[in-house]
Protein backbone atom coordinates (compact mmCIF):
# COMPACT_ATOMS: atom_id res chain seq x y z
CA UNK A 1 0.00 0.00 0.00
CA UNK A 2 1.46 3.35 -0.94
CA UNK A 3 0.40 6.95 -0.47
CA UNK A 4 0.70 10.30 1.27
CA UNK A 5 -0.47 11.49 4.65
CA UNK A 6 -2.72 9.08 6.61
CA UNK A 7 -3.04 6.73 3.63
CA UNK A 8 -3.93 3.82 5.92
CA UNK A 9 -6.69 5.22 8.13
CA UNK A 10 -9.04 2.65 9.65
CA UNK A 11 -11.88 3.49 12.00
CA UNK A 12 -12.85 1.01 14.71
CA UNK A 13 -11.28 -2.46 14.64
CA UNK A 14 -8.74 -3.33 11.97
CA UNK A 15 -6.06 -5.93 11.34
CA UNK A 16 -3.26 -5.79 8.74
CA UNK A 17 -0.84 -8.66 8.22
CA UNK A 18 2.20 -9.07 5.92
CA UNK A 19 1.64 -5.66 4.32
CA UNK A 20 4.20 -3.23 2.97
CA UNK A 21 3.37 0.44 3.56
CA UNK A 22 5.26 3.09 1.56
CA UNK A 23 4.81 6.70 2.71
CA UNK A 24 5.45 9.77 0.55
CA UNK A 25 4.64 12.37 3.21
CA UNK A 26 6.51 13.84 6.15
CA UNK A 27 3.28 13.99 8.20
CA UNK A 28 2.24 10.40 8.98
CA UNK A 29 1.82 7.11 7.13
CA UNK A 30 -1.04 5.72 9.24
CA UNK A 31 -3.90 7.01 11.36
CA UNK A 32 -6.54 5.38 13.56
CA UNK A 33 -9.90 6.34 15.04
CA UNK A 34 -10.85 4.11 17.95
CA UNK A 35 -13.09 6.65 19.64
CA UNK A 36 -16.40 4.77 19.57
CA UNK A 37 -15.33 1.95 21.90
CA UNK A 38 -12.37 1.76 24.28
CA UNK A 39 -11.50 -1.74 22.97
CA UNK A 40 -11.25 -0.64 19.29
CA UNK A 41 -7.74 -1.08 17.92
CA UNK A 42 -5.68 -1.41 14.79
CA UNK A 43 -3.29 -4.36 14.81
CA UNK A 44 -0.39 -4.45 12.33
CA UNK A 45 1.45 -7.77 12.26
CA UNK A 46 4.55 -8.68 10.22
CA UNK A 47 4.28 -5.41 8.29
CA UNK A 48 7.07 -3.39 6.68
CA UNK A 49 7.12 0.41 6.60
CA UNK A 50 9.18 2.33 4.03
CA UNK A 51 9.08 5.89 2.83
CA UNK A 52 10.68 9.10 1.79
CA UNK A 53 13.39 10.44 4.09
CA UNK A 54 11.88 11.74 7.32
CA UNK A 55 8.45 10.09 7.05
CA UNK A 56 6.59 9.77 10.35
CA UNK A 57 4.93 6.51 11.31
CA UNK A 58 1.54 7.70 12.48
CA UNK A 59 -0.80 10.07 14.27
CA UNK A 60 -4.31 10.36 15.64
CA UNK A 61 -6.90 13.11 16.16
CA UNK A 62 -9.33 11.03 18.22
CA UNK A 63 -8.86 8.17 20.66
CA UNK A 64 -6.79 5.48 18.97
CA UNK A 65 -5.06 2.22 19.86
CA UNK A 66 -2.15 0.89 17.76
CA UNK A 67 -0.50 -2.55 18.06
CA UNK A 68 2.66 -3.30 16.05
CA UNK A 69 3.72 -6.98 16.17
CA UNK A 70 6.94 -8.12 14.43
CA UNK A 71 7.06 -5.04 12.18
CA UNK A 72 10.09 -3.60 10.38
CA UNK A 73 10.84 0.02 9.53
CA UNK A 74 13.38 1.37 7.07
CA UNK A 75 16.06 3.89 8.05
CA UNK A 76 14.12 6.76 6.41
CA UNK A 77 11.57 6.79 9.25
CA UNK A 78 11.88 9.88 11.45
CA UNK A 79 12.62 9.66 15.16
CA UNK A 80 9.03 10.65 15.92
CA UNK A 81 6.70 8.43 17.92
CA UNK A 82 3.06 8.16 16.89
CA UNK A 83 1.59 11.45 18.01
CA UNK A 84 -1.65 13.26 18.80
CA UNK A 85 -2.22 15.79 16.00
CA UNK A 86 -2.14 19.46 16.98
CA UNK A 87 -5.72 19.87 15.75
CA UNK A 88 -7.00 17.14 18.12
CA UNK A 89 -9.73 18.21 20.51
CA UNK A 90 -8.43 15.73 23.10
CA UNK A 91 -8.70 12.04 23.94
CA UNK A 92 -10.41 10.19 26.81
CA UNK A 93 -8.17 7.12 27.07
CA UNK A 94 -4.68 8.57 26.67
CA UNK A 95 -1.85 7.42 24.44
CA UNK A 96 -2.22 3.75 23.49
CA UNK A 97 0.61 2.64 21.18
CA UNK A 98 2.19 -0.78 21.67
CA UNK A 99 5.16 -2.58 20.06
CA UNK A 100 6.44 -6.14 20.20
CA UNK A 101 9.58 -7.30 18.38
CA UNK A 102 9.65 -4.34 16.00
CA UNK A 103 12.89 -3.03 14.52
CA UNK A 104 14.19 -0.15 12.43
CA UNK A 105 16.95 -0.60 9.88
CA UNK A 106 19.96 1.30 11.20
CA UNK A 107 18.89 0.95 14.85
CA UNK A 108 15.76 1.23 16.96
CA UNK A 109 14.52 4.49 18.45
CA UNK A 110 13.81 4.51 22.19
CA UNK A 111 10.05 4.82 21.63
CA UNK A 112 10.12 1.63 19.51
CA UNK A 113 10.81 -0.51 22.59
CA UNK A 114 8.77 -3.60 23.45
CA UNK A 115 5.90 -2.37 25.62
CA UNK A 116 3.14 -4.85 24.88
CA UNK A 117 2.95 -5.89 28.52
CA UNK A 118 1.60 -2.39 29.20
CA UNK A 119 -1.39 -3.00 26.92
CA UNK A 120 -4.78 -3.72 28.49
CA UNK A 121 -5.45 -7.47 28.67
CA UNK A 122 -1.92 -8.65 27.89
CA UNK A 123 1.11 -9.65 29.91
CA UNK A 124 -0.27 -9.85 33.41
CA UNK A 125 -3.03 -12.24 32.36
CA UNK A 126 -0.56 -14.47 30.54
CA UNK A 127 -2.04 -13.82 27.11
CA UNK A 128 0.20 -13.87 24.09
CA UNK A 129 0.01 -10.91 21.77
CA UNK A 130 0.68 -12.85 18.60
CA UNK A 131 -1.56 -15.80 19.38
CA UNK A 132 -5.27 -16.38 19.33
CA UNK A 133 -5.74 -15.20 22.92
CA UNK A 134 -4.86 -11.68 21.85
CA UNK A 135 -6.07 -11.54 18.27
CA UNK A 136 -9.42 -13.29 18.68
CA UNK A 137 -10.92 -10.48 20.79
CA UNK A 138 -10.04 -8.21 17.88
CA UNK A 139 -11.61 -10.49 15.28
CA UNK A 140 -14.37 -12.37 17.11
CA UNK A 141 -17.81 -11.54 15.80
CA UNK A 142 -16.53 -9.52 12.87
CA UNK A 143 -16.48 -10.28 9.18
CA UNK A 144 -15.60 -8.04 6.27
CA UNK A 145 -12.16 -8.78 4.92
CA UNK A 146 -10.39 -6.45 2.53
CA UNK A 147 -7.27 -7.69 0.80
CA UNK A 148 -5.16 -4.77 -0.33
CA UNK A 149 -1.79 -4.57 -2.04
CA UNK A 150 -0.40 -8.08 -1.80
CA UNK A 151 3.35 -8.08 -2.31
CA UNK A 152 3.12 -10.16 -5.46
CA UNK A 153 0.26 -9.83 -7.94
CA UNK A 154 -1.55 -7.05 -6.03
CA UNK A 155 -5.31 -7.40 -5.87
CA UNK A 156 -7.86 -5.21 -4.18
CA UNK A 157 -10.99 -6.89 -2.87
CA UNK A 158 -13.51 -5.07 -0.67
CA UNK A 159 -16.56 -6.15 1.30
CA UNK A 160 -16.26 -9.89 0.92
CA UNK A 161 -19.18 -11.52 2.73
CA UNK A 162 -17.54 -14.26 4.74
CA UNK A 163 -20.33 -16.00 6.57
CA UNK A 164 -18.14 -18.11 8.80
CA UNK A 165 -14.50 -18.80 7.99
CA UNK A 166 -11.54 -20.15 9.89
CA UNK A 167 -8.87 -17.44 9.72
CA UNK A 168 -6.19 -19.76 11.08
CA UNK A 169 -4.48 -17.86 13.92
CA UNK A 170 -3.18 -20.74 16.01
CA UNK A 171 -6.28 -22.93 16.26
CA UNK A 172 -8.33 -20.49 14.19
CA UNK A 173 -10.84 -17.75 14.68
CA UNK A 174 -14.37 -17.90 13.33
CA UNK A 175 -15.42 -14.62 11.78
CA UNK A 176 -19.17 -14.37 11.40
CA UNK A 177 -20.63 -10.87 11.29
CA UNK A 178 -20.43 -7.98 8.87
CA UNK A 179 -18.57 -5.10 10.55
CA UNK A 180 -14.82 -5.50 10.54
CA UNK A 181 -12.22 -4.44 7.97
CA UNK A 182 -9.15 -6.66 7.84
CA UNK A 183 -6.22 -6.05 5.53
CA UNK A 184 -4.37 -9.20 4.58
CA UNK A 185 -1.43 -8.77 2.24
CA UNK A 186 -0.69 -12.32 1.33
CA UNK A 187 2.20 -13.20 -0.98
CA UNK A 188 1.05 -14.83 -4.18
CA UNK A 189 -2.60 -13.90 -3.88
Q: What is the pLDDT of residues 96-149, one digit of tens each?
A: 999 999 999 999 999 999 998 888 776 543 344 333 334 444 444 343 333 333
In a domain, 71, yes or no: yes
Question: What value does the mean pLDDT of the chain take?
Answer: 73
In a domain, 116, yes or no: yes
In a domain, 151, yes or no: yes
Q: What is the pLDDT of residues 20-52, one digit of tens each?
A: 999 999 989 999 999 998 888 888 989 999 999
In a domain, 148, yes or no: yes
In a domain, 76, yes or no: yes
In a domain, 154, yes or no: yes
In a domain, 132, yes or no: yes
Under the banding of pLDDT at 50, 70 and 90, the label for residue 74 is: very high
In a domain, 21, yes or no: yes
Residue span of the structural domain in which 58 resides: 2-184
CA triplet 36, 41, 45: central angle to 5 degrees? 160
Q: Who has greater pLDDT, 135 or 89?
A: 89
Q: How many domains does the chain have?
A: 1
pLDDT at 189 over 80: no
Amino acid sequence: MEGGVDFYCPRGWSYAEDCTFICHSAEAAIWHDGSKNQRQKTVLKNCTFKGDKGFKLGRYHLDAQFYFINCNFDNNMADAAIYKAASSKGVKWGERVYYDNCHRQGGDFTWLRNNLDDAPGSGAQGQTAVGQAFISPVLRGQSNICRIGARRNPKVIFDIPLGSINYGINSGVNITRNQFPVVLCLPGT
